Chains A and B, each alone.
Chain A
């Protein structure tokens, strides 16, 4: 494998790590808003890292411009969508989770 291949593989492994963190957050966190936080930050970072790895490795197989376009699009839309969902939930009157009454 070429050094560029190893670099892209390192990016993909880092992206899968952050996606795993996001999935654990969505499964385990106690509240809609904390789950939205996990989905909006960690998942976006994992997606972007993996796609950058694809763009580094796949020079002759896939056009690099389309992968970069996908990265920019993900960076713009994923936090926006999660923000819209969380705001709709807040407008509907879903209360945020607090430690009052949950600690004992």
Chain B
């Protein structure tokens, strides 16, 4: 990995963080709770990508484990909230 690629990956991570901040508008404003959950789901996916980009740019392979665990927790959060909001289960 050369220095140019590392810098480009860090810039890409910065752009994704900016998009996540823009996404907070829908989390705050969303009329229903499901709107907020969808926005938080997209935000968590962005976070996983940011962690992977930083792991590649800084040469830290251990960060990828954090990204994997974060992706698992994000999926569990979405499923748990969608199960909570319906009275009986059977969402999937």
Q: Which of A32, A57, A74 contacts B48 (CB 8 A)?
A: A74
Q: Which of A8-44 contact B (CB under 8 A)?
A: 8-9, 12-13, 15-16, 19-20, 22-23, 26-27, 32, 35-36, 39, 43-44
**Shortest CB–CB separation between residue B73 and chain A, in angstroms?**
11
With A5-B5, A88-B83 already in contact, the answer to whether A27 and B23 are too (CB < 8 A) is yes
| A residues in contact with B42, CB < 8 Å | 22-23, 26, 39, 43
B12–A16 CB distance below 8 A: yes
A74–B71 CB distance below 8 A: yes
Count of A-B contacts judged by CB separation below 8 Å: 163
Q: What does the 1/0 interface line of A42-80 toward B look like (CB < 8 Å)?
A: 011011001100100111111100110110011001101
Chain A residue with the shortest CB-CB distance to B9: A12
| B residues in contact with A51, CB < 8 Å | 49, 52
Interface residues on B, range: 35 or more
B22–A23 CB distance below 8 A: yes
B5–A8 CB distance below 8 A: yes
User: In the bound complex, how far is the Cα of B69 from the Cα of A101, in angstroms?
Assistant: 45
**Shortest CB–CB separation between residue B47 and chain A, in angstroms?**
11
B52–A35 CB distance below 8 A: no
Interface residues in A, total, Cβ within 8 A = 54
B1–A58 CB distance below 8 A: yes
Chain B residue with the shortest CB-CB distance to A9: B8
Q: What does the 1/0 interface line of B40-64 toward A look like (CB < 8 Å)?
A: 0110011011001101100101001
B38–A26 CB distance below 8 A: yes
List the 5 closest A-B pairs by CB distance, nearest first: A81-B78, A58-B56, A88-B82, A77-B75, A89-B34
